[in-house]
Every structure is written in C-alpha cells, then in structure tokens.
Amino acid sequence: MSLKVLISAPYMQPVIDRFRPIFVENGIEIIVPPVQERLEESDLLQWMSDIDGVICGDDRFTERVLRSSPRLKVISKWGTGIDSIDRKTCQQLGIALCNTPNAFSEPLADSVMGYVLCFARNLLGMDRLMKEGLWQKLPGRSLKECTLGVIGVGNVGKAVIRRAKAFGMPLLGNDIVKMPEDFLARAGIRMVPLEALLKKSDFISINCDLNPTSRHLIAAEEFSLMKNSAILINTARGPIVDEQALIKALDGKTIAGAALDVFETEPLPMDSPLRQMRNVLLASHNANSSPEAWERVHLNTIHNLLEVLKGCRS
C-alpha cells in the first residue's frame, strides 16, 4: 500500500510538480487540496482520514483533527512556527512534528530594517506629499539617534541586531533565555526587563515565538509605557499583540506608528481600522519572502517528512 501525503503549504503548492519525482521514488501519493491562507479544522476533517503525512503551513491541527487521523505519522511544517498545531496531542498519539528552524531569519531581519528606515527617514510620507503635488520637507531621524528594542533574541532577533548595529543604533534586548556574555559584548546590546525596553526604545521589534506566555505580550498596559514617538514592528505572530489595544494606542497617539506583517486574524479583515491608518505599514504575512530561502525550506521540509516515513517503514 502506498503512503499518502497531504501538501497544504501554500508556498510549496505552486511548485509541487518539481518535487513529484521525489515522492514517486519513495512510493508516496501526494494530495494537493485547494488552499488560500490555511486549512481550518473543518477543512482538514474532510481530508485526513487516510493521510500518512502532511507538509503544512499554518493549518489548524487541533486535537479533533489529530484524533480523526488514524494513519497520520508525521506533520512536517513548512517554516518555523508551530503554534497552530496541538503539540500535546501529537505527543500523546506518537505523531512526529518537524519544522525548519532558522529558515527565514535573514529575509525577516531585512524586512524589519526596511520598516525602521521607512519610518525613521519618513520615506512614505514624503512620497505621498510629492504625489499630491506638494513640495514639503518632513523631519527625519538618523538611525544612530534611535534606540531599537528587540523582543526575542533568537535567530531572527540576532539577525536584526547585526543589521541595526551596522547602522550604529543603540540596542536593547529582552528574552526569557539568558544570553551569553560574549554574545552581548560582540553584539553591543544590553538586556533589560520588558518594561525598561518599552520605555526607552524608539523602535520596538517583536521577534519572539507565539506561545502561552507571549500571547498578548503587548497590550494596553505595555502601550502606555512606550514613548509617544515609538514605532512598533511585528513580523513574528499576530496574537503576540493585542490588536484592539494597538488600534486604540494608534488612535489616541499613545504611539506614533506600527509596521505589521502579521495579524490576530489572517487575512486582515477588510473593515479593520488598521487599513485606513496612514501611520501604519501593512503586509500580507510576507516578510519571509526570499526565493533562495523558500527553496531551502522546500527541500528541508520534504527531507523531514521522508526521514520519519522511512523510519516507519523499516
């Protein structure tokens, strides 16, 4: 009996034909369901009854889905974040859960610094005025005048720090993991409590994982601590920020702006007030965009899947 693998990762689906020979060689039939952003629980329940393995994006692998998947041996996550997968139930059922850590650190860090530059140099504001027929000079700031606070000093956070250091930015960091002293010295970063980081930073970049301790890590109380000139950048996971509290902070000029690649609900609802705010930069969860990185993740995700399935066959 051949194995069946569901390919639901949106970035892999358009190029899946390039990888079909690998699956054929390993006696695997692939199933490619229609996907836009992700498969919800109700979608997965229609597909999972005879599936042995999955290459997924941010699909909702709930306890109900996992317990309705009697043949499932492995979930190979395309990318890093596994917050949409019930890890406890995977462990209970003996379902292997793999991901590709450090897959997108470089392009994500590039995106963060792009947002920093846009706001510090007021690039979009000046572009808008010119297109409106106005010759007007807006104030900008040099990056060496701006303190960057990095929440989550893991692979992405470290990549952001390397770039910001090259611009001469003063650096503050916050993480639940203690950083080695030699790294702190090389990076030129000072680790501080979250409250101090929020009070002192001109730009705040969220780069931590989403887990029970980080959900709504940034909410009304945290916004009240920030400078009214502060810019919040989130390229990590939407629910780390209380979106309604963010909207209130922007409306009330508690902070000056935000750059958001991720949201509590994705796609971002069309009626979200964020879509109308000139001091907010928005993107469609695309800060990881990099053909070279995507190719590595395609291959690593397939490798992770095959390693488990081969082990089950032997």
CATH number at residue 123: 3.40.50.720
Task: Assess whether 71 and 170 both reside in one domain.
Answer: no
Task: Assess whether 159 and 245 both reside in one domain.
Answer: yes
Burial class (CB in 10 A: 0-12, 13-18, 19+), 248: middle
Q: Rg of the Cα trace of the chain?
A: 21
What does the alpha-carbon distance between residue 31 and residue 51 come to, in Å, rounded to a whole number?
9
**pLDDT value at residue 208:** 97
Residues acting as catalytic residues = 237, 266, 285
**pLDDT value at residue 1:** 66
Torsion angle (degrees, nearest 10) of CA 270, 286, 222, 86: 90
Task: Assess whether 17 and 108 both reside in one domain.
Answer: no
Task: Assess whether 8 and 41 both reside in one domain.
Answer: yes
310 alpha carbon, distance to own chain's centre: 30
* Residue 190, domain extent: 104-282
Task: Assess whether 190 and 114 both reside in one domain.
Answer: yes
Task: Assess whether 17 and 84 both reside in one domain.
Answer: yes
Question: Using alpha carbons only, what angle is made at residue 209 by residues 57 and 221, rounded to the nearest 5 degrees?
Answer: 125
Task: Assess whether 123 and 181 both reside in one domain.
Answer: yes
Question: Using alpha carbons only, what angle is made at residue 89 by residues 84 and 90, rounded to the nearest 5 degrees?
Answer: 80
Task: Assess whether 185 and 212 both reside in one domain.
Answer: yes
Task: Assess whether 255 and 301 both reside in one domain.
Answer: no
Task: Assess whether 190 and 272 both reside in one domain.
Answer: yes
Task: Assess whether 23 and 151 both reside in one domain.
Answer: no
What does the alpha-carbon distance between residue 256 and residue 234 come to, in Å, rounded to a whole number?
15
How confident is the chain (314 residues) per 10-residue block, as mean pLDDT?
Answer: 94 98 97 96 98 98 99 98 97 98 96 99 97 97 99 98 98 98 97 99 98 97 99 99 99 99 97 98 97 97 97 67
Burial class (CB in 10 A: 0-12, 13-18, 19+), 55: buried
What does the alpha-carbon distance between residue 155 and residue 106 come to, in Å, rounded to a whole number?
9
**Whether this model's pTM surpasses 0.85:** yes
**pLDDT value at residue 314:** 52
Task: Assess whether 142 and 125 both reside in one domain.
Answer: yes
Q: How many domains, the chain?
A: 2
Q: Which of 304, 284, 308, 286 is nearest to 296 (CA)?
A: 304
